[in-house]
Structure formats: structure tokens, C-alpha cells
Chains A and B, each alone.
Chain A
Amino acid sequence: MAELILKTLTKTYIQAQPPAVDQLNLAVRDGEFTALLGPSGCGKSTTLRMIAGLESVTAGEIRVGGKLVNELHPKDRGVGLAFENYALYPPLKVRDNLAFNLRAHGLGVKEINRRVDEIARTLQIQELLDLKPVALSSGQKQRVNMARAMIRRPSVLLLDEPLSHLDARLRVELRTEIKRLHAEQRFTTIIVTHDQLEAMALADRIAVMNEGKLQQFDTPLEVFNHPANEFVAGFLGEPPMNIFRTVVDSGRLVIPGAEFALPITPSMQKLIGSRKESKFGVRPWGIRVSQTATAGSVAGKVTVVEDLGDETRVGVRYGDILIMSSIPVTRRYRPGLPVYLNFNEEDLNLFDPTTGERLSDSSNPLRSVADETRNKDKIQAQVTR
């Protein structure tokens, strides 16, 4: 396995149009699991195809284990691409499915057998070698599928939406299986997905992309808790983050034309600076609902309650804005009831109203540096484990 470096990687299909992938810089560490996450058309699949050699590079570099592979044939790049489940050949035994590519490359029978046994041991599928795909469980199929991509000893394993066409139950099962496999093997892996839960669950770090550009590259929790901009904030999380426009009005953030006024605390003031307005973001779990007013709480009236078994969601409307909170199961709140919303300060996200960038405390850069160091250590620990 090896590290993978993308340096100002760019793909332009039509000169006059914005690039499909725009100066992408990404350093994937040896053994790391990275997710390329974004909506359709964000450039994630194009990026994967460029790495695999299925798509030419307009500008920039792709380095696998330090070696520039831009001009190499796909089979010489040291990358293995795993397709979906059903790409296994049904009439062939698992053993022959694995050997198929090696035979095509003219390897000798002895060497092929040796490699099949070796990869089967690694992925713990020895007892499956003489079965046909139809006899395998979904988890076993996933292992065989990975084994087939890995048998040619790629330096980097590429997974292209491996779960997206499966039903929900199977998807959850296979997600667990892939995560487990990676924990066992620590092969350098890149997965392309549009499913934020999949990216969060699997990846050591997530590269969020939009319109060909990298938005943020960080650990799942960091991307989730400290999104770099409004796009990232809105793309990750289900139910979605409440994001709405507020204006600064005599020391408070207010929703224009509605009865929402949140006192601006000193630390919020530092972020807002001289701005006249700010996008306000808070996840449904970052709001406490109560029936008594406290300092800094915002009064409102419940307009919708959803009882969802493990949680209750309470909605309070301020003009066009419906703020949804997620709280432990309760029957206390019903539509029409006056309530107070309390916003945990550490769960608040403020974004620049024009650029959408997260407002950060420039006078206190220590915090973000500390975060960065901590994340690095954490990934290093995982990799070397």
C-alpha cells in the first residue's frame, strides 16, 4: 500500500465551461480511508476515474507512492478498482473469479494459485473459494469483490459507489463489513459516494466536493461539527442543519419580520465583527426546548411535533423559517404550546452572508491549530495500529 497525492488536479471537458475538477489538492496517507463526498456533478467520480486512468488529466499530478502516474496505463498504476457486487461472474467459482484477471495478464498457474490462496487468507474467504457467487451472503460477496480488486496487489484501492444500488438493509450490513475489512487490513482506500452517512461511517477523512472544487478535507466529526462553509454544513447531517439568514439588530441576531431575537454573546460578537448580517446554523440536536425562559433563550410557539420512536422532533415557526429540534422522546410538547429555545453556544455555526464561509475567531487561532494536531495524531494512531 502507498500514499496517494493529487496536486492541482484539473479536468476540463469543454474549454469555455468551468472545469469538472478544479485544482484539487489531496494527500491521502498510507493506509488511510478517504471518502470523496458530494452531490452529483461535483467532480468526485471524474476524480476517481482520473486516478484509475480511465479519464485523461487536463492538468496537475497524480502520484501513487511518490511515482507520477498521469501517463501510465490503468493496469500499470498500481490501483485496483472494485465494482459492485453483481460484477462477479455467476458461473465461475470464487477461486476462478479471483484468478480471472491474473490469467488475462498471463501469470503462470503456480503463481496464480499462490496469490489466490494468499488473498483468500488475508480476507478470510478460504472456505468460500470453491463456492459460486450465488451461494454467498452479501457480506461474503463484498469480501470476494474486494479480494478481486486487491489480488493484483494495488497500492491504492478505489471504490466507486459500491453500496448505492443496494436496499437499505443490505447497505447498512455491507457498510459495516467494509469498515471492518479496512480496520483489519488498513489498505489505502478511496471511496466515491453521495451518501453522507456512508462517508461518515467509513472514512478516516472526508473530502467534500462541490462544483469541481474541494470544500473541506478533514475527519468526519470535524467536518460534521465544524463545517468550513454553508455548503458543507447543509450537505452533511440528517435531519439537516437549520440554516437561515439573520441580521444584527441592537446586540441581537434577528430573523427579519419574525419574533426571533437571540442576544449576541461576546464570543459570537468576535466572530460577527462589523458584519450587519450572518447566516445562522444549528443542528436539530444543538437546540434545547423548555417551557421556562432562561438567559438567552428565544420564545416561540410549537407548530409541529414528530414522534419518531427513539426521538421527538419539535418545530417552531418564525415567519418563513421552521426551526426543527431533536430531543429525547417526550409527550410534553404539542402544537400551540409556548416554548423557549436554548441554543448551545458550542453548537452554533455562523457563516458569512455573501461567501458562505464559516466565521472563525481570528484572534484565537490556537484552537483550530490544536484541533488540527489532535486529528493528525488520531489518524496516525489508527494507521500504525
Chain B
Amino acid sequence: MASILLSGLTKFYGKRRGVEDVTLEVGDQEFLTVFGPAGAGKTTTLNLIAGIVTPDRGSVRFGDRTVDALEPADRNVAMVFESYALYPQFTVYENMAFPLKSPKHRLPAAEVEQRVRHFATMLKIDHLLNRPIQALSNGQRQRTALGRALVRRPDVFLMDEPLSHLDAKLRHSMRAELKEMRGQLGTTTIYVTHDYLEAMSLGDRVAVINHGQILQVGKPEEVYFHPATVEVAQLFGDPEINIVDAKLRNRQATSVRVQALGEEWSLPITADISSALDRVTGDTVCLGFRPADVVVGGNGNSNLRGVVYSFEPLGTKSVLTIDSVAGQRVRALVDGHRSFDVDRRIEFGVPASSLIFFDPESTRYLVRSARTEGDD
């Protein structure tokens, strides 16, 4: 077991930036997800920790020891990849026991058997131990690959998109099951993914990375509700968060006039918002609000108007694309029982509590109102 400290890790591939100045602390037994789009630098980060790639600058520490000089095999990390890299003709048992038979990790036979059975039970593949890999489903193969990494009891567990090529349904259930058994792992884990649902579900904290740089590190609810930048906000959520420019006028202690989407209305503001707005030069801000927060229909809060551009039912929810009066397009996620005709005029609104303020110049997070939870 170990905490992990990455300081100023930098790796360029020729002129192309792999990662630059990645500094990150992962607590002992913490489960950290590293989330970003393809090419963000996620896998490079993992490979630097594993020692597969040598950094240009920076260092890696496990607990109180620096591992920069150690070969990958001597770092006591276990990796799980997207491709399972199992031996297809071997049984589940043989695959799981394999790392314990290497010269470095050799264990007594009884101990090997005990460990394999322990983790096979935890992963619910104990009934498959004598089956060859070829006879397994994709989900079962993924469990075997996890099991093979677990039996070594590594100091650090590195997972590179282990669920990404399972089909969508299996990914949901494997994710839930992985989270269910997460508490039993008890090993410091870094888990790389491009799927924001995985990042939020599994991580004690999420490190958001893009273009080789860390954009934000925080608990899932922090990165989702208080994203550090517009870019981070856009990486979480499907459909994507709405971002609109707004002009602020006539600011008072408890309210401000907002001009956005072709309308003007009075927005109640708190002291927090007020002092955040003091930091903005000029009278414009960027407002972010998630499609699920848009309220459609005339119920008093609907101060915005528009025309239905497109309506896409998805089952429980539907995506409604609205052309606002100003022409800018807004997406709303509405209840699946409602139906909207194209070109119909509608009213909609965004509750003040779901507005996230960003600086229009730097696109950095400014403030959002205190959030109230649905049924708490």
C-alpha cells in the first residue's frame, strides 16, 4: 500500500506534448480516476507511473520512496489494460495464478491457490476457474484480467480503460459491480477513462486532463457542479452543458439584470456571486447550465422564449433543441412522456441555482449559487 506523488511530470514525444507539469497526489488506498478525451495524456501519465515511459522532467514517489530509478518490474504496480492480454488457451485459474509463478513473485502453491480463490470469489468467477479463456464472455474475460492483477497484491493498481470496449450495457453493469467491490480492493488505484460516467461513479476524486495538462482535481460533485473551466464543464454530461454569453447590468446588492438569449431578466444574487462578479472586468460573463436543469413550459420561471428546432425522444428522457429568440441554440432534457412539435413556440427558464458563472476572457470558473438537492 502506498500513496502516490507525481511532481512536475513532463514528457514530450518530439515536439508533441504527451504531458506537461503533471503534479498530483493520490492518497493511500484512494481510488483516483483520470478523465479526459482521446489524446489528452491519460495513458502517458499511467505509463510514466508504471515506469514504461521515462519522463523528461519530474518524479514519481510511492509512499516515502522515489521510484524514478526503478524498472517497471521493481515498482510493484499491477496494470489492467483495455485489451485483456490473457493467455487464451489457459484456464481462468492458470491465468490468474500466472503472475505468482514468475521468479520475482513466486509463492508457495497453497498460498497461490488461496489467493486465486479469494479474488475469484470476489469477482464472481469462482465457478469458471477451470474454463479456458476462449470459452468466456467479454465480461468474464475482463474479470479474469482484473483478478490476475489483484492476486499480486500490488502497492499500486493502474487501470487503463478496462471497460471501454465492452458494449454499453455491460459497461454499465460492470462499472456498478466494480464500484461495489471497490472497498474490498484496499489498494491505491489510478483508473484512466474517457467516459465521464465512469470517472464520476468510480473515483473518490477525479483528475480532469486535456492537452497533456491537468485542468482540475476534485471530488466528482466538485468537478460536475463547480467545473474549473468551461472546457471541464463541457467534458461532463450528455448532451453537453449550454454555454451562453450574458450582459450584466444595474447590479444591486441582491440582484442583477441579466441580458442573454435575447431576453432580459432580474436574477437574485448572493454575496458570493456578488464578490465573484467584482473580479470580472467589463460587464459580460459566460453562463453555463446543464440541459437537465432547463425548465420547459410556462410555470412562472419561464422568462425565455424560443422555437423548437428539433425533438429527439430517448426513452425516459427526450432531448429538446430550442432556437432562442436571439438565435442561439439551447438544449433541454425533458421528461420522456412529453412531446414537442418542431417549430412550436415555447417558453423556458433556467433556475438561478443551476447557473454557473465563468469569466468570458479566461473561461475560468467564477461562482455558482448554493445547490439544493432534489429530495434531501
Tell me which residues across on chain A come within 8 A of B52, comparing CB atoms.
Answer: none
> Chain B interface mostly helix, strand, loop or mixed?
mixed
Within residues 217 to 247 of chain A, which ones have a CB less than 8 A from any CB in chain B?
A: 220-221, 224, 234, 236-240
Q: A238-B169, A309-B237 are in contact. Are A197 and B314 (CB under 8 A)?
A: yes
Within residues 292 to 306 of chain B, which ones have a CB less than 8 A from any CB in chain A?
A: 292
Encode contact with A along B161-192: 1 for CB under 8 Å, 0 otherwise. 00000001100110111011001000000000
Neighbour of A309 across the interface among B224, B239, B319, B321, CB < 8 A: B224
Answer yes or no: A260 CB below 8 A from chain B CBs: no
What is the distance, in angstroms, from B343's C-beta to the closest C-beta of chain A?
A: 8
Q: Are A183 and B172 within 8 A (Cβ)?
A: no
Q: Are A180 and B376 within 8 A (Cβ)?
A: no
Q: A221-B336, A308-B201, A310-B290 are in contact. Are A180 and B176 (CB under 8 A)?
A: no
Answer yes or no: B238 CB below 8 A from chain A CBs: yes
Tell me which residues across on chain A come within 8 A of B197, comparing CB atoms.
Answer: 306, 308
Neighbour of B180 across the interface among A200, A220, A236, A317, CB < 8 A: A317
What is the distance, in angstroms, from B98's C-beta to the closest C-beta of chain A?
A: 27
Encode contact with A along B143-162: 1 for CB under 8 Å, 0 otherwise. 00000000000000000000
Answer yes or no: A90 CB below 8 A from chain B CBs: no
Q: Are A313 and B311 within 8 A (Cβ)?
A: no
Answer yes or no: B374 CB below 8 A from chain A CBs: yes
Tell me which residues across on chain A come within 8 A of B336, comparing CB atoms.
Answer: 221
Q: Are A169 and B240 within 8 A (Cβ)?
A: yes
Please report the total number of B residues contacting A with Cβ < 8 Å.
Answer: 44
Q: Are A330 and B375 within 8 A (Cβ)?
A: yes
Encode contact with A along B233-266: 1 for CB under 8 Å, 0 otherwise. 0001111100000000000000000000000000
Answer yes or no: A69 CB below 8 A from chain B CBs: no
Give the complex CA separation of A53 and B334 in angstroms. 40
Selecting from A19-27, A92-100, A207-215, A321-329, the interface stretch reads A321-329
Q: Are A330 and B180 within 8 A (Cβ)?
A: no
Tell me which residues across on chain A come within 8 A of B333, comparing CB atoms.
Answer: 310
Tell me which residues across on chain B come within 8 A of A329, comparing CB atoms.
Answer: 373-374
Please report the total number of A residues contacting B with Cβ < 8 Å.
Answer: 45
What is the distance, in angstroms, from A27's C-beta to the closest C-beta of chain B?
A: 22
Tell me which residues across on chain B come within 8 A of A324, comparing CB atoms.
Answer: 172-173, 176
What is the distance, in angstroms, from A309's C-beta to the closest C-beta of chain B?
A: 4
What is the distance, in angstroms, from A57's C-beta to the closest C-beta of chain B?
A: 31
Q: Are B313 and A220 within 8 A (Cβ)?
A: yes
Answer yes or no: B361 CB below 8 A from chain A CBs: no
What is the distance, in angstroms, from A39's C-beta to the closest C-beta of chain B?
A: 8
Answer yes or no: A168 CB below 8 A from chain B CBs: yes
Q: Are A240 and B169 within 8 A (Cβ)?
A: yes
| A–B complex contacts, Cβ < 8 Å, 25 sampled | A172-B319, A176-B309, A176-B319, A176-B321, A180-B321, A200-B313, A201-B313, A201-B319, A202-B312, A220-B313, A237-B315, A238-B172, A239-B169, A240-B173, A285-B316, A304-B177, A306-B179, A307-B221, A309-B290, A315-B180, A322-B176, A324-B173, A328-B374, A330-B376, A332-B375
